[in-house]
Structure 1
Amino acid sequence: MASLTIDPSLLWYIARTKPRMGERALQALQAAQVVTYQPRTSEVVVRRGRRVIRRTAMLLRIVFIGVADADHLDEAKAAPGVADLVCYPVEDASTEGNIAGPVLKPARLDAEGLQQFVDVLARGEIVEPVGIKVGQSVVVREGPFASFPAVVEAILPNDRLRVAVSLFGRPSPVEMGMADVQML
């Protein structure tokens, strides 16, 4: 799976969203031309008797944002749904006459380190999603091959599998979703 490519020309920060406003914040940031990345995980859940794949945020209320400059960062902070940026304290030495003390400065991320983080997450999502492994025997639950036995040949991106279904005594490769198979 090709993971997201982090643009090293952008300045990367961590934004926290307001409770229950994550999607609205993502839409507002994208409308402001801010590059966003929110790591997500997949899980198979049962809803109303059907198995479906649910993608949820891996880090709750956290979004990685890429901006061009300080003005673009101010625009991102003001977006609806964005609570604040992750900051760290530094000593204020801006002008004479100010009261000495620490001020909060947004924590800037290293683009190369963030790219390594994204790559590790992408590899981890494919290696062992929901406990299904290559070579494992499964039964097809839905579609034209329902109730046929199969063997997992490959785990593909976007929660897909390639399985070998036994048709007329010969294995035939078929691509399907993870929710369409049941482990034995």
Structure 2
Amino acid sequence: MKPIDPDKVWYVVRCNINCEAKASDNIRLAGFDVYYPRQRIEKKHRRHNTYLVKERPLMISYIFVGMPKNDKLQHFGFVRACEGVEKFLEYQGKPIPVPGRDVQAIHEAEVDMRFDDTRAARIHRKEEAKTIKATLEMKYARGKEFAVIDGPFASFHAIVEEVTKSGNIKAMVSLFGRLTSVEFEAAHLTAA
């Protein structure tokens, strides 16, 4: 993915329905910088029981077009004439410029997978680990306090000792004035 040039003046272009890719290709062929922000999502295939990663527009029907700052004659007509382009985002008949650093920030967030809803993105953002046990160990760290929300120990507070091989959480609960070790399912605990 080509980095965004913050020295250019960027404009928002509205595209025809489902024509973001077509419009960005045609604008690029016309000689302008284009940024088409996308996000990736993961869907489970019902029949094959596998996960498919699909890419879709981050901002439906909108892309960014970069033009040189020093250019006295803006080439809005060339962009409007490209196939798939509907119009520029305008105010009182003039296209609205967007600061290059803002477009660059959106691009960096896309590269950093902040818009993606896939397992790889969650691992990259450290919201999830590669295995279920490692994810539970990350969420239920040793020494952290949790409230028990279900079962016979509901409304008690528990201090995590470890995550077992079976995926349960072993924690200490205060019963009759002394700490007792109890195993909980992850669904039975919530942050205190």
TM-score (norm 2): 0.55
Greater than 4 Å deviation, 4+ residue runs: 126-132
Partner of 2:36: 38
2:27 to 21, 26, 29: 29
- The reply to whether residue 82 of structure 1 matches residue 85 of structure 2 is yes
Q: Gapped runs of 5+ residues in structure 2?
A: 136-192
Question: What displacement does 1:73 show?
Answer: 2.9
Partner of 2:75: 72
- The reply to whether residue 137 of structure 1 matches residue 140 of structure 2 is no
Q: Gapped runs of 5+ residues in structure 1?
A: 90-103, 139-149, 153-184
Distance between the aligned counterparts of 1:80 and 1:74, measured in 2?
12
Distance between the aligned counterparts of 1:81 and 1:128, measured in 2?
28
Aligned length: 125
* RMSD across aligned positions (CA): 2.8
Query: Cα 1:24–1:127, aligned 2, differ >3 Å: closer, same or farther?
Result: closer
User: Contact between 1:4 and 1:118, CA under 8 Å: does it hold in 2?
Assistant: no
Aligned-pair identity (%): 19
Question: Comparing both chains, which one has the higher relative contact order based on Cα–Cα distances under 8 Å and sequence gaps of 6 or more?
Answer: 1
TM-score (norm 1): 0.57
What secondary structure, in the 3-state scheme, does the structure 2 residue paired with 1:6 have? coil
Query: Cα 1:61–1:136, aligned 2, differ >3 Å: closer, same or farther?
Result: same
Deviations 1:9-64 (A, max 9, x none): 32210000011322221221111122111211111113452421101111000001
What secondary structure, in the 3-state scheme, does the structure 1 residue paired with 2:114 have? helix
User: Contact between 2:12 and 2:88, CA under 8 Å: does it hold in 1?
Assistant: yes
Query: Cα 1:23–1:123, aligned 2, differ >3 Å: closer, same or farther?
Result: closer
Select the structure of larger CA radius of gyration: 2
Query: Cα 1:128–1:151, aligned 2, differ >3 Å: closer, same or farther?
Result: farther
Partner of 1:142: none
